[in-house]
Structure 1
């Protein structure tokens, strides 16, 4: 099984040397593992260059199967540990910035007070990234907008209002609420979250075409850009907590919100620690109201 783990780690780190360091092996040992698997499969998985290791076309084709074998073995070992009770385990979570900053630290701290042997691995990205991580088994579950994964099992947690973000000196900042049409006329900074974009979908739903000037993948970068008067934006209320930016935040008319949910493939096959933490999260956050 170490051979499959070595391949996955080389892909993650981009090279044999870094993979060997993280796995605790010599580079020669990792090379031998890969060569052994290549001999068994009858093909070459990697090409090496000064830039690192890159998958060959055959390697690209075989990688999903290698990942499946590796993750299935990890789940088997987790199931074995489950029989020994919830004394240890690794909980792997896919998440996006607002959740990892404002929800997860407190939830993890409180959960570890009851189960101090449990450890967490967080993988952050947009909706597309979280979906892919769940599907390939790299994480046990993830936080996501359920509209991004209509064919996946989800547990809705809360509604997160979307708010207008403006420079304080902007004329619209003097209003109690900002209309969607007024926002669409301004230079707009769009938060790219992958397949689903709540602001863009909302504009389209109302037959409005926004004046998009920038497309950005990070909420905090957008707030910094708004602070420098490069444009206006729509961001979720959750990310706007504990603001350190000189910006104005206003309600939108008509109102807009996103649903935050937990997504997973099959709950009964998850490690016991992950199942318990999902139930813990649901009990703490699942409400009908906003965040």
Structure 2
């Protein structure tokens, strides 16, 4: 059994394209096609549906096989890292799922400390929404992911990093700019840009707590779009300080009602993680120990 064919199949499933998979794997497209064809021939099943108009999709058996194949590849990565440790070598790849504000504000701090001792470890970063990161963890695309407020039903192990305050964001010339503390009642008649992402519920709970019905002008999912709309004077918003403080030409204000979101790293199992992943988590805990 060739693990190289497993890697090809996993990469095609991840990217949804034979061409993109061949580029990332530094293989010819014909070699990629041959690897899948030989795997299907050996098993006697069709793993991938090929359609010129609709593109490629996994068959039912392909989807079921993918979960096991990714687990096998992850186990092989762990074995290789364990062997390297015994030989006093350092190898391995860590796959991290991250969202925008974590990428810019948290990840560099951990990487800087980690690479002081482990410069040979490679990284692959997958940036997406909170929901996508959770899905990637579930299906084995990533080893660890930045998450926010995992609920009690989560099966992941959680490593808390920081508390991130929810703040008001408004244009630099807005009248709120001169208020040290902003009363949430003052936001009731302001044109409001409501985020539709994961922290929408936090904002709705804040308004509900004070029996306020905000004047919602826009509902937007993308954080960067929201920040740009605030810059252009299209409305104000409430959001996480970690992200909003990195945006230029908008001002932030502190609400009279304090609400925090908790940012953490999630891992399916620290005990079963590779040596490189366990060390990365240990470094992350050390870096943010005083801020969690």
SS of equivalent residue, structure 2 residue 163: strand
C-alpha distance after superposition, 1:211-260 (max 9, x if no partner) = 4443434323211110111111112121233442x222100121111111
SS of equivalent residue, structure 2 residue 172: coil
Q: What pairs with 1:39-118 in structure 2 (closer than 5 Å)?
A: 39=41, 40-49=43-52, 52-56=55-59, 58-85=61-88, 87-118=90-121
For the Cα contact (< 8 Å) 1:189–1:232, is it kept in 2?
yes
What TM-score does the superposition give when structure 2 sets the normalisation length? 0.86
Q: Does 1:214 align with 2:218?
A: yes
Q: What pairs with 1:1-291 in structure 2 (closer than 5 Å)?
A: 1-39=3-41, 40-49=43-52, 52-56=55-59, 58-85=61-88, 87-148=90-151, 150-151=153-154, 152-194=156-198, 197-204=201-208, 207-244=211-248, 246-287=249-290
Deviation of 1:50 after TM superposition, in Å, equals: 5.4
SS of equivalent residue, structure 2 residue 116: helix
Give unpaired runs (5+ residues) of structure 2.
Answer: none
CA distance in 2, matches of 1:85, 1:134: 30
For the Cα contact (< 8 Å) 1:157–1:282, is it kept in 2?
yes
What TM-score does the superposition give when structure 1 sets the normalisation length? 0.86
Deviation of 1:126 after TM superposition, in Å, equals: 2.0
- Describe the shift of the 1:85–1:196 C-alpha distance in structure 2 as closer, same or farther (beyond 3 A): farther
C-alpha distance after superposition, 1:174-216 (max 9, x if no partner) = 3222233433543322334448743234445555444444343
C-alpha distance after superposition, 1:84-114 (max 9, x if no partner) = 3462222221221111101222321232122
For the Cα contact (< 8 Å) 1:147–1:196, is it kept in 2?
no
CA distance in 1, matches of 2:271, 2:175: 53
CA distance in 2, matches of 1:37, 1:184: 61
CA distance in 1, matches of 2:201, 2:172: 25
* Aligned-residue RMSD, C-alpha: 2.7
For the Cα contact (< 8 Å) 2:94–2:124, is it kept in 1?
yes
CA distance in 1, matches of 2:188, 2:68: 45
Give unpaired runs (5+ residues) of structure 1.
Answer: none
